[in-house]
Amino acid sequence: MKRVSLTQYLVEEQRLHNNIPAELRLLIEVVARACKTISHSVGKGALGEVLGSADTENVQGEVQKKLDIISNEILLEANEWGGHLAAMASEEMESIHPIPNRYPKGEYMLLFDPLDGSSNIDVNVSIGTIFSVLKAPEGMGQPSEADFMQAGSKQVAAGYAVYGPQTMLVLTTGNGVNCFTLDREMGSWVLTQRGMQIPAKTKEFAINMSNQRHWHPPVQRYISELLAGDTGPRGTNFNMRWIASMVADVHRILNRGGIFMYPADLRDTSVPGKLRLMYEANPMAFIVEQAGGAATDGKQRILDIQPTKLHQRVPVFLGSRDEVAVVTGYHQET
């Protein structure tokens, strides 16, 4: 079968949809190249001195892993000089990162979770990188955090790399979702799945059950119905899967359906859940909706949320749209 590279795919998409200008295509190719470099580091494991803790804390209050920092550096260095960006933002950096004055500025802004699933790094379970692209506001001067406060529906591209048995890149620019597999010998991304679609119905759910006692009633109700299986109101059995790497759980859902949930919990109503809106929930919501799925915070579409803080958290319910509708409906009844 004729192999289609990432570049050829993006050029053809531009001809079809005219929404991938050269600057955006070049930006996506730079990010994809950076993900290849991260994949190479991840693959070294103990042989590459990339495992273990960096003994530093990030703005999230998490102890950073060495690979959190290595991946962040790789993405910063790869994207600083190209001239496509005005600024970057990352889970691992407290404030935004303007492009240094020695480099030309572009009209895009890149946000990323450089290493998603950090708790899985040292036990050789799939991890990944998540990224989101916004346009810089017209006439923007020195970039500020306020320039990043755009709803997820404003994203012009989003994607993730998953570093698993294969290294894969999943990408959307608003014309559906496509998946590329890294050919390690050639060092190139090869199109391996076109137009990914999430089944509307599923019998599989993903949630961290150890937080059950802290969930709000709509989630308690929904999960207890799934757990009741064929003796309960749903009349059928459900399977639970939880990898604790969002990229890996979302990738499974993109391929065979499912619902992924990270709810807010009662412990701290000021912190609505664990996942971050700007560089986890928004890019994944864009991808999931482009694949025919749904993504809400329990009450509203994630892509409609107007951000106020760069690192703000949001409850996440995403995946097979019929199941997202059920649990969202329970929230709306309260």
116 marked as part of a ligand binding site: yes
**Where in 64-103 is the site for ligand AHG (CB under 6 A)?**
91
- Of residues 143 and 257, the one with the C-beta less far from ligand AHG: 257
113 marked as part of a ligand binding site: yes
- The nearest distance, CB 53 to Mn ion, in angstroms, is 12
- Of residues 99 and 318, the one with the C-beta less far from ligand AHG: 318
Instruction: Tell me: does residue 274 bind ligand AHG (CB under 6 A).
Output: yes
Q: Which residue is nearest to Mn ion (CB)?
A: 116
CA 129 to chain centre: 7
Number of residues that bind Mn ion (CB under 5 A): 6
- Of residues 117 and 152, the one with the C-beta less far from ligand AHG: 117
208 marked as part of a ligand binding site: yes
- Of residues 68 and 147, the one with the C-beta less far from Mn ion: 68
Give the whole-angstrom CA distance, residue 35 versus residue 71.
8
Candidates 93-101, 148-156, 158-166, 240-248: pick the segment binding ligand AHG (CB under 6 A). 240-248
Pairing of strands 108-116, 85-90: parallel
In sequence order, the β-bridge partners of residue 178 are 171
Output the DSSP codes for 253-270: HHHH--EEEE--BTT-TT
- The nearest distance, CB 122 to ligand AHG, in angstroms, is 12
122 in Cβ contact with 51 (< 8 Å): yes
Give the whole-angstrom CA distance, residue 6 versus residue 284.
20
Give me the residue label for tokens 């990914």. Answer: 196
Candidates 133-141, 230-238, 239-247, 307-315: pick the segment binding ligand AHG (CB under 6 A). 239-247
**Where in 23-62 is the site for Mn ion (CB under 5 A)?**
62
- Among 232, 244, 255, 325, contact with ligand AHG (rule: CB under 6 A): 244
In the 8-state DSSP scheme, what is residue 169? E
Amino acid (1-letter code) at residue 219: V
Output the DSSP codes for 193-250: E-S----S--SEEE--GGGGGGB-HHHHHHHHHHHHGGGSTT-S--EE---S-HHHHH
Pairing of strands 53-57, 188-193: unpaired
95 marked as part of a ligand binding site: no
320 in Cβ contact with 200 (< 8 Å): yes
Instruction: Tell me: does residue 129 bind ligand AHG (CB under 6 A).
Output: no
For binding to ligand AHG (CB under 6 A), which residues are involved? 62, 91, 113, 116-119, 208, 244-246, 274
Which residues line the annotated binding site for substrate?
116-119, 208, 274
For binding to Mn ion (CB under 5 A), which residues are involved? 62, 91, 113, 115-116, 118
